[in-house]
Structure 1
Amino acid sequence: MKRLALASLALVTVVALSGCTAIQRATQGDEKPDGSTSFTYWSMWSEGEPQQLALQAAIDDFTDETGIEVDVEWIGRDNVKKLSPTLNSPTAPADLIDAAQRNIKSVLVSTESSHSMNDVLASEIPGEGVTVESVIPEDYLDMITVDGETWMLPYQVISSAFWYNRAEHPELVTDPPAEWDDLIAWLDASKAAGRTPLAQDGDIANFNLYYYAELAVRNMGAGELHAAAADPTGDAFTQQGFIDAAAQLQQLVDGGYFIDGYSSSKWPAMQQKWAQNDADLIFNGTWIPHETKSSTADGFEYGAFPMPRTSPDGDASQEVSLIGFGIPANAANTDAAEQFIAYFMKKEQLEGVSTLAGNMTPRADIDVPAELADIKALIDDADSVHGQFDLVIDDYGDWTTKVLIPLVNKLAFGAISAQEFSSQLPKDSATYWANNG
């Protein structure tokens, strides 16, 4: 997932986003499906990765059952970047791609080059007698729909939280910190006991951004950071909730809670230390069990709890992002690609994302890996969900990379104060939009 994070950051700076755009339909009115008997698929996974194995098994079964051939290329994380220059050509070289939500949005949706998934949603999952739409939570669909047209079809669900070893910290199983002050008290107790409270691989910019973005959501509510990012004056960032989020991140830095050397660390050194119980907590994504399982201490049991509320009635939504399929608007074989998507949503096929790849799927009837049971419960129990980083990378990737992340890094490493951060962010944001508006 480090590669996914870095590739995503690089990709979203390639395309300048301008808000919601139209999603195109390849088959409208009385037009007939293309009747294709093959299609080309450029995948974000590389050969040998668990997701690749699950998808390859489904491709083989799909071809056996339908006769439709799948020309698949396991390109890796640059698949959408490779597709981008072809979007204005008469025919796309790939009929189907998969990618992180923000990458599909930044390359296909922002350029009005995305084929609508509405027909897929309305189609029946082979052999199950239910539609594709019926097995995907409405909250997820809301995140990937523009003007009534859904632009991707998710098959993997990602979320983030504070991770810990349940065997070492049973108190967190029964009574995790519910509010910010509770978390600070727990971190203080960890230090007082001679432990290191927080692990952090500081060289991954997204990991530092987690703290500020999640605290901004907790203080301001979901969608407010996203809205502030688009403010051409930068004045939105003078609101108290954003100032409080910066102060809370500084509180973690000044408290000495982060593991020694995090600001100069090289991934995955610090998450491995966490897995060895050299630090109590790490704020990270649902890939963390997969990435650390080979280095965990004996008896390690994965547990998770969310970023605490910052006030008793504050935001308590759970962060979610998606990985799934997209179809270019200029694809030649949309019918066959759509059939495969519906086929892969079959329970017996999609559950490979859980059993082989150790990840969550959108389907409620597919068991999650034991390591993700806590975070799945967080999603299920939350009143609502919000997008990763409040969707600022999805829609304002260049701004996030050039304005927000550099300041967050300085704050997270103690190079500037929260006051300096809160003074500079409005100015830098206004300057960015003056030059890029």
Structure 2
Amino acid sequence: MKKSFIVILAAAVSLSLLAGCGSSGTTDGAKQSETPKTDAGKPAEKVKLSIWHNYTGEDLRAKTMREYMEKFKKDHPNVELDIQAIPPDGYRPRLKTVAAANEMPDLFVMWPGVMTKEFVAGNLIQPINELLDSKPDWKKGFMPGSFDDFTLDGKTYSAPMALSPTSILYYNKEIFAKNGAQPPKTWDDLMKLVDTFKKANVTPIALGNKAAWVAQSSILSSLADRVTGTQWFLNAVDQKGAKFTDPEFVQALTYLQQLGKAGAFQDGFNAIDNTQMEQMFAQGKAAMMIDGGWALTNLAASASKEALANMAVTVLPSVPNGKGDPNTLSGVVGTGLGMSKNVTGAKKQAAYELIYALSGPEAQKAILESNQLVSYNVNLDTSKVTSIFAEVYKLMGSVKMTPVYDGKLTSATADVVNNGLQELLMGGKPEDVAKKIQDAHVKAAGK
């Protein structure tokens, strides 16, 4: 993430916290006209548009996005939407399957970084520069750097609908107070907390790593940056003077394994998913969890007001002799809608309208008020969100963002990292896991 993005983000957050905005981002849907007209006054051409998304949960953001799709259907009776809702854990595999068969839906939720690069390399998607340029005020409303990981060779392939820090350390204030504990500032502090909570028969850190990406995205991405520094990781991605078998990366893996060996996580952490992990934390069954900003919208929908008021957040602690900045969160701009290269004519115009409907200013405001961070300049009315969301929103103004591993590595390498961390937490040797990652990266990236 570019430094300029962080500077502007910090300023925008600070200003937004001071300025309340009373209007709601939700809508009831405009009255549909009997026969929609084109600019030339002729009836609009009827088209069928397919869209895949992963907004299947009962969190506020998922509900908001589904509401906006339904509103689009009412406002565009000439467009028949074929909506496929796929649960998050199965979404990426399904998308990879249709991508391999070159059978992409017309529009689909996709990730910035590696996924965008791979879809562009496979000639599967088309840019949306024409749409962005046709709405300059909307385009200018995004924070600097928002389009970077969706852009290749000057062509932008999506507009982000979220901002996703991935490594927030959530903690339960009541459990901490009962045990005379303070948020950890150093690695030694964290390890002492693990011991303190275990003696009190409280799970120190909830973990739901069933889908394997959680340990990588939410823990390792930030923890490894503490150890190696950001530039080492970027060099390792490019295989320029750094390899994943280097001692500093092995040390990062060793720290993660140290948590596992100390019993920081509950039994069966590889058998539950991140939503179950969040529920476990919200119910007071764990003192901490390390999770992304996406947890905020889930918690807002499922946790009680008392539970939400009892939550606080901080960043992961520093590590001994670490080369990275400890005042950071790993993160990326969020997902956006990608458009298949096969979408043309009237269908393309309808696709543009749907992209704007789901990521334009009105939608961005509604997303923010559903307790989901966005990379768009929107004033936040804190009365519309939970107290813990407001706290994270404020935290974002005081930290820098560092890369998420699966946002920079090829998808093949990221799979090896994810599986390797499961192995690591079950007792595998850090050196062996590091070698598997290095070998997979060399093979996948052709380095």
For the structure 1 residues 225 and 70, does the alpha-carbon distance in structure 2 shift closer, same or farther, using more than 3 Å as the test?
A: farther
What's the CA shift string for 1:233-286, capped at 9, x where partnerless? x97123332122122113212333223x13464345554332222211011123
1:374, distance to aligned residue in structure 2 (A): 2.8
User: Is 1:294 equivalent to 2:306 in the alignment?
Assistant: no
Q: Which moved more, 1:132-141 or 1:61-70?
A: 61-70
Question: Using the alignment, how far apart are the partners of 2:198 and 2:322 within structure 1?
Answer: 26
Distance 1:43 1:67 in 2: 19
What is the rounded CA distance, in whole Å, between the counterparts of 2:56 and 2:420 in structure 1?
37
Post-superposition shift, 1:366?
A: 4.7
**Residues 93-140 of structure 1 deviation map (CA, whole Å, 9 limit, x = unaligned):** x4322234468526622313221132333332xxxxx52222222233
Find the residue that maps to 1:42 and give its secondary structure. Answer: strand
Against the structure 1 CA distance between its residues 144 and 201, is the aligned structure 2 distance closer, same or farther, given a 3 Å change threshold?
Answer: same
**Which secondary structure does the structure 1 equivalent of 2:402 belong to?**
strand
In the other structure, the counterpart of 2:161 is 155
Q: Which one-letter code corresponds to 2:155 in the other structure? A: E
User: Are 1:342 and 2:356 an aligned pair?
Assistant: yes
In structure 2, what residue type is equivalent to 1:80?
Answer: L
Partner of 2:343, secondary structure, is coil
Deviation digits for residues 57-116 of structure 1 (CA, Å, limit 9, x no counterpart): 43455566677635241332546346425648xxx6x43222344685266223132211
CA-to-partner distance for each residue in 1:133-170, whole Å, 9 max, x for gaps?
A: 22222233222222222222111222221112345547
| Match among 70, 73, 76 for residue 83 of structure 2 | 73
Label 1:363 to 1:309 Cα distance change in 2 as closer, same or farther (>3 A). Answer: same
CA distance in 1, matches of 2:270, 2:55: 29
Distance 1:378 1:142, change over 3 A: farther
The match for 1:242 is 249
**Matched letter for residue 328 of structure 2:** S
Report SS of the residue matched to 1:236.
coil
The yes-or-no answer on 1:220 pairing with 2:228 is yes
Q: 375, 396, 400: which one pairs with 1:379?
A: 396
Matched to 2:280, the amino acid is K
Conservation of the 8 A alpha-carbon contact between 1:98 and 1:324: yes
Per the alignment, residue 365 of structure 2 pairs with 351
Confirm or deny: 8 A CA contact 1:59 1:70 kept in the other structure.
Answer: no
Aligned residue type for 1:334: K
Report the residue type matching 2:302 in the other structure: S
**Counterpart for residue 340 of structure 2:** 328
Which 5+ residue runs of structure 2 have no aligned equivalent?
1-43
2:312 maps to 303
In 1, are the aligned partners of 2:413 and 2:440 still within 8 Å (CA)? no
Instruction: Output the amino acid matched with 1:405.
Output: N
Q: Which of these residues, 395, 410, 413, is aligned with residue 396 of structure 1?
A: 410
Q: Given the superposition, is the C-alpha separation of residues 230 and 195 from structure 1 closer, same or farther in structure 2, using an over 3 Å criterion? A: same
Q: Does 1:405 align with 2:418?
A: yes
> 1:177·1:183 contact (CA, 8 Å) conserved in 2?
yes
TM-score, normalised via structure 1 length: 0.73
State the Cα distance separating 1:204 from its structure 2 match. Answer: 3.3
**Corresponding residue for 1:110?**
121
Distance 1:56 1:283, change over 3 A: closer
**Sequence identity of aligned pairs in percent?**
19
1:139 aligns to what SS in structure 2?
coil
- Alignment partner for residue 106 of structure 2, among 65, 87, 95? 95
Work out the CA distance in 2 between the residues paired with 1:283 and 1:297.
21
Give the direction of change, closer, same or farther, for the CA distance of 1:249–1:431 in structure 2 (3 Å limit): closer
Distance change (3 Å), C-alpha of 1:424 and 1:176? closer
Q: Residue 319 in 1 paired to residue 330 in 2? A: yes
Aligned residues: 382
Deviations 1:15-38 (A, max 9, x none): xxxxxxxxxxxxxxxxxxxx9774
Give the drift of 1:295: 5.7
TM-aligned CA distance change 1:98 to 1:266, over 3 Å: closer
User: Residue deviations 1:174-202, cap 9 Å, x none?
Assistant: 97434433433444444455543211124
Per-residue deviation at 1:361? 2.4
> Alpha carbons of 1:180 and 1:377: their partners in 2 closer, same or farther (altered >3 Å)?
farther
- CA distance change for structure 1 residues 249 and 68 in 2, over 3 Å: closer, same or farther? same
Counterpart Cα distance in 2 of 1:318 and 1:431? 26
SS of the aligned residue for 1:262 comes to: coil
- Out of 151, 167, 178, the residue aligned to residue 145 of structure 1 is 151
- Distance (Å, rounded) in 1 between the aligned partners of 2:242 and 2:235: 11
The structural deviation recorded for 1:318 is: 2.2
Q: 2:282 aligns with which of 270, 275, 294?
A: 275
Is the 1:208–1:412 contact (alpha carbons within 8 Å) kept by the matching residues of 2?
Answer: no
Letter in 2 for 1:361: V
Determine the C-alpha separation between the residues in 2 that align with 1:222 and 1:82: 32
Matches within 5 A, 1:150-229: 150-160=156-166, 161-169=168-176, 176-191=183-198, 195-209=202-216, 210-222=218-230, 224-225=232-233, 227-229=235-237
Distance 1:226 1:171 in 2: 42
Counterpart among 132, 138, 141 of residue 132 in structure 1: 138
Q: Give me the whole-angstrom Cα distance separating, in 2, the residues matched to 1:189 and 1:208.
A: 23
Question: Amino acid of the residue matched to residue 123 of structure 2?
Answer: E
2:244·2:437 contact (CA, 8 Å) conserved in 1? no
Which residue in 1 is equivalent to 2:52? Answer: 43
Unaligned runs of at least 5 residues, structure 1: 1-34, 125-129
Q: Secondary structure at the match of 1:197?
A: strand
Residues of 1 paired with 2:339 and 2:197: CA distance?
49
